Amino acid sequence: MQTIKKRIAEQIVEKVHAINSEAELSAQDVAAMLEYPPDANMGDLAFPCFKLSKILRRAPVQIAQAIADGFSDEAVERAEVVGGYFNLYLSGEYLTCHMLSEVSKKGARYGSPETGEGRTVVFDYSSPNLAKPFHIGHLGTTVIGHSLRKLHEFAGYKCVGINYVGDWGTQFGKLIVAYKKWGNRETVENGGVDALVDLYVRINNAISGNAELGIPADPALADEARAEFCKMEQGDEENLALWRWLVKLSLKANDEIYAQLGITFDSYKGESNYTNEMPYQVQKLRDAGLLKLDDGASIVDLSEYHMPPCLILKRDGSSLYPTRDIAAAYDRKQLYDFDKSVYVTSAGQSLHFAQWFKVVELMGYDWADKLVHVPYGTVSINGAKLATRTGNVILLRDLFALAAEKVAGIMEEKSPNLPDKEKIAEQIGVGAIVFYYLSNTRMKDINFVMEDALSFEGNTGPYVQYTYARACSILARAEAPVGGKLAVSTPEETALAKVLSMFEEKVCEALETYEPSVIARYILSVAAAFNRFYHNCTILGAEDENVKNTRLLLTDATKTVLGNAFDLICLKKIEKI
C-alpha cells in the first residue's frame, strides 16, 4: 500500500503544481494526508482537498475536480469527486497481485520499512528493582520495551537491550537491616525472592507502623537502613557479600519470567556497575559550576527550566538515581555510540527523566538530544494502587500460571489428544496477558481486572493465535499453490488483501509514536478480515483451480503477516491449537 500511495501522491502533487507552480507541497506531504474512508462505499483511499484551499485559493470541490481530470493509475479502478474529497477505488486484482508478490519476495521481512540501516538504538526496559517479586506493575516496561526493540530491529536498526536492574539503593539497606534482625540464610535460600519480600514488607511496616497489625512506628530503622547502604557504597565487605547474595536470588526468579515471555537482554549492567563512574560525573558538574549545596545535599538548580532541583548527592554523600543514570548514559554512549537511547518507564517518572536529561544537556554532552523517555500509564488492581512494601501486588508467575490453567481446561475439552498441551497452554495463557496489556494505548491507565484479562472471547490474544493456527491448518491440508492466473472474485478477498497490504505503514506508525498497541490493533483487523474471508469463501473446496490457488495464497500471506506481527509484540506463533 505504501508504494501505491506514493504513486498516487506524486500524481496529486503534479496536479497541484499545474494549478500553482509555487505551491510548497511534496509527495510525502500528500501521502500523509491520504485517508482510509470509514465506509468502503466511499472508496479505498480519499484525499481531503479542503487542506489545500488556503495555498491554492480555490474551493475544495474545484481542487478535487482538477485532480480528478485525467487522473490514471494502474492500481486505481475508478475515482470520484464527492464534495471536497477525491475518492479512489482500488482494483482488487491489482492490489491482491501486488501484495502477494511483495509477501512472496520479502517473507519474514514483509512489512519492514528498512529505515534503520547503519543506526544503533539502545533500549533500557524492564529494569526491575531487585529483591522484589516480578509483579503486574513490571509488565508494562517489560513488554512495551521489548516490543519497541523488536519493532526497531524489524526496521533494520541495530538494537541493544539493556536490563538496568535496580541492584543498588536504600532498599538494600532496608533488607540488610531486616535480615540481620529477623532473617536466617536457610530460610531465605529456601524461600528465594518470596522470603526477601516478607523481610521487605516487615521492615517497612516496622518503619512506618501498621495499626491493623498492632505494629508501632520506629523511624529510627530508616536511619539504620540508610547507614547500612552508605556502608555498602563505602566498600564494607560484609554488607557487599550479603548484597551479592540477595542480587543472585532475585535474578534467578526474574529469569524464569523472562523465559516465559521469550525475552533476553544484551546487557544486565545494573546501577551498582556505576559506583566507580559516578565521581567523574559529579566532578564534571562541579567543574561546570552546576553543582550547588542545599541543606548539605548537592543539587543542580533547574528553576530556570521550570523544574524542581535535580538531586545529585545526599547529605551523607551517597548517590541518587540521577547520578547513576547520568553515569550509565555516558557509559552507553562510549560503548555503543547510539543514535538514540530509549528509556521505557512509567509516566510517574517523567519528571525524573526530564530533570536528568536537562542536566546532561547542561553538562555539554552533544548526545543529550538523543535521549528519549517513553512513558506509560499506571496499573491498579480493582482500583487499588500497587505497592510491594504493603504486599498489594499480583505476581506475574501466579498470573501466568492461572492463565495457563484456564487454557489447559479449555483444551482438555476441545483438543484432548493435542501433543504438548501443557506447553501450548502456557504460551496461550501468557499471550492472553501480554495481548490484553499491549492492545491498550500505552498512556492509558489500566485497572487490571483478572476476569477481563483472562477472557478468551472477543478481541483477545487467544482469538488471534487461533486465527494463525487456522491458517496453518488450511495450508497443512492443501497442496502447494501452483502457477496460474489470479482470480479475485469476492469482496472478502479484496478486503483481506487491502488489510494485509497496510502492514508496513502500521509498523511505521508504531515506530513513530512508540506505540505497540498499533500493531496489536492491526493484528485484530487482520484476524477479523481473514475470518470473514474464511467463513464466506470456500478455500480447499473451490472448484476453479485459479480461485483455489488465489485463496491459498491469501491464506499463506495471512500466516506470514500475522507471524511477522506476532514477533513484534511477544506473541507466540502456535500452529496447532
Contacts of 545 (CB under 8 A, 6+ apart): 482, 484
Alpha-carbon distance 358 to 123, whole Å?
19
End-to-end CA separation in angstroms for the chain: 32
C-alpha cell at 94: 491489482
Residue 390 has pLDDT above 70, yes or no: no
Alpha-carbon distance 339 to 155, whole Å?
14
Q: What is the pLDDT of residue 274?
A: 85
Q: What is the pLDDT of residue 496?
A: 97
Q: What is the pLDDT of residue 194?
A: 83
**Element holding 189 (H helix, E strand):** helix 185-191
Q: What is the pLDDT of residues 155-193, one digit of tens each?
A: 999 999 999 988 877 888 999 999 999 988 988 888 888
Q: What is the pLDDT of residue 26?
A: 83
Mean pLDDT of 558-569: 97
Residue 391 has pLDDT above 60, yes or no: no
Q: What is the pLDDT of residue 393?
A: 66
Hey, which of 133-137, 224-228, 367-371 has the most confident mean pLDDT?
367-371
C-alpha cell at 572: 507466540
In angstroms, the Cα distances linking 230 to 223, 295, 425 are 10, 19, 47
Higher pLDDT, 481 or 88: 88
3-state secondary structure of 140: helix
Residue 515 has pLDDT above 90, yes or no: yes
In angstroms, the Cα distances linking 83 to 31, 49, 67, 154 are 20, 9, 13, 40
Q: How many CB atoms lie within 10 A of CB 269?
A: 18
Residue 514 has pLDDT above 80, yes or no: yes
Strand 379-381 vs strand 384-385: parallel, antiparallel, or unpaired? antiparallel
Alpha-carbon distance 192 to 206, whole Å?
22
Residue 388 has pLDDT above 50, yes or no: no
Q: What is the pLDDT of residue 381?
A: 67
Q: What is the edge-to-edge ordering of all strands in the sheet holding 297-300?
A: 291-294, 297-300, 310-313
Mean pLDDT of 230-253: 88
381 bridge partner residues: 384, 448
Q: Side-chain half-sphere of 109: how many Cα atoms within 13 Å? A: 9
Q: What is the pLDDT of residue 346?
A: 93
Q: What is the pLDDT of residue 275?
A: 79
Mean pLDDT of 390-415: 80
Q: What is the pLDDT of residue 392?
A: 54
Alpha-carbon distance 177 to 450, whole Å?
36
| Cβ atoms of 148 and 516 closer than 8 Å | yes
Q: What is the pLDDT of residue 389?
A: 44
Radius of gyration (Cα) for the chain, nearest Å? 28
Share of the chain above pLDDT 70, in %: 97
Q: How many CB atoms lie within 10 A of CB 253?
A: 20
Alpha-carbon distance 109 to 253, whole Å?
35
Comparing C-alpha atoms, which of 376, 274, 354 is closest to residue 319?
A: 274
**Element holding 340 (H helix, E strand):** strand 340-346
Residue 355 has pLDDT above 80, yes or no: yes
Question: For residue 166, what is the DSSP state?
Answer: B
What the chain holds in terms of domains, given with CATH numbers, is: 2-90 (3.30.1360.70), 121-390 (3.40.50.620), 396-568 (1.10.730.10)
Per-residue HEC secondary structure of 446-511 comes to: EEECHHHHCCCCCCCHHHHHHHHHHHHHHHHHCCCCCCCCCCCCCHHHHHHHHHHCCHHHHHHHHH
Alpha-carbon distance 24 to 16, whole Å?
10
Residue 462 has pLDDT above 60, yes or no: yes
Mean pLDDT of 22-39: 85
Average pLDDT, the chain: 89
pTM across the whole model: 0.88
Alpha-carbon distance 226 to 316, whole Å?
9
Residue 504 has pLDDT above 80, yes or no: yes
Higher pLDDT, 72 or 177: 177
- DSSP-assigned states of every residue in 60-121: HHHHHHHHHTT---TTEEEEEEETTEEEEEE-HHHHHHHHHHHHHHHGGGTT-----TT-EE
Q: What is the pLDDT of residue 25?
A: 82
Q: What is the pLDDT of residue 276?
A: 82
Comparing C-alpha atoms, which of 531, 559, 547 is closest to residue 487?
A: 547
Q: What is the pLDDT of residue 387?
A: 52
Sign of CA dihedral 345, 346, 352, 357: positive
